[in-house]
Amino acid sequence: MPKHAYAIVLRSMANPKSKAAKKQSRAAKEKPKPRNASNLSARSRSSKGAPRSGAFGRGTNPERVKAILRGLDETYPASTTALKHDNAFQLLISTILSAQSTDQRVNMVTPGLFKKYPSPAALAYANPNDIEQEIRSTGFYRNKTKSIIGASKKIVEEFHGEVPRTMEEILTLPGVARKTANVVLGTAFGIASGIVVDTHVQRVSGRLDLTKNTDPKKIETDLMKIIPQDRWILFSHQLIWHGRRVCQARKPKCIECNLEKICYSKDKTI
């Protein structure tokens, strides 16, 4: 057999695919990928912890704020302070003592304290050493003793024995800042001069995206802009109770929260 015949046979064996098979192969290689397929996994990863806008929008959208208020009303319809008191003066002293302490601890201390010192005059001229022993378990007892004696003395000497009823006046009392002033004015007198911002309000309002600030004064300003004034007093108590019972610092109980569907905090546990 001639040599060129072998060459023809070899070329035929080395290239067995038909034209139709080649065309199908090229079509398979050139088949377009699903649109944005290369980005699907990245988008999936990036959206895993993304906020859900929900039906009420995000942040301080008025409809979302109304939904939050409705949810708080359902759970805490008539909430108030946990500090036990019989009058504005007792509430003032209890609130000063609650700094860096708990309401439960303060409620254990104040019955004995108020029995021995039932009025501003009695506390104003008390022996500081005796007061320190009475309130020792609340912590920072030396500074607190100075504050409650100083506040009592100013109430007696400058306000005729009555707790002031304006923000400007009550802030002149030793140991009283806006948080304490708002607690007393709102709870004891029903005066909505501002919103209480304690550690619970600070945490919960941040998680609910009602404020971007961490400074208590700025948080209060932010909340006062979006919460109706006739809700300031109740809203303060509601957020405090929500922070204690549900939206706790270390491990929020999101499964028990009726605001969960409109919350997109990074701290969520579900």
Give residue 62's pLDDT: 96
Q: Is the dihedral angle over the CA atoms 247, 250, 254, 259 positive or is it negative? A: positive
Catalytic residue among 144, 154, 198, 222: 198
Give residue 56's pLDDT: 77
Residue with token string 């500090």: 83
Average pLDDT of the chain is 86
Q: What percent of the chain has pLDDT over 90?
A: 78
pLDDT at 2 over 70: no
Catalytic residue among 154, 179, 209, 222: 179
Query: When comparing pLDDT for 31 and 115, which is higher?
Result: 115
Does the annotation count 198 as an active-site position? yes
| Predicted confidence (pLDDT) per residue in 222-244, tens digit | 999 999 999 999 999 999 999 99
| Burial degree of 224 (CB within 10 A; 0-12, 13-18, 19+) | middle
Domains of the chain as residue ranges with CATH: 53-82+194-270 (1.10.1670.10), 83-191 (1.10.340.30)
Please, where are the H alpha helices in the chain?
3-14, 19-29, 37-47, 62-75, 88-97, 103-116, 120-124, 128-135, 141-158, 167-170, 178-183, 189, 199-207, 216-226, 232-245
When pLDDT is averaged across residues 115-144 and rounded to a whole number, the result is 98
- 55: pLDDT confidence band, cut at 50, 70 and 90? low
Query: When comparing pLDDT for 94 and 39, which is higher?
Result: 94
pTM to 2 decimal places: 0.79
Give residue 137's pLDDT: 98
pLDDT at 45 over 50: no
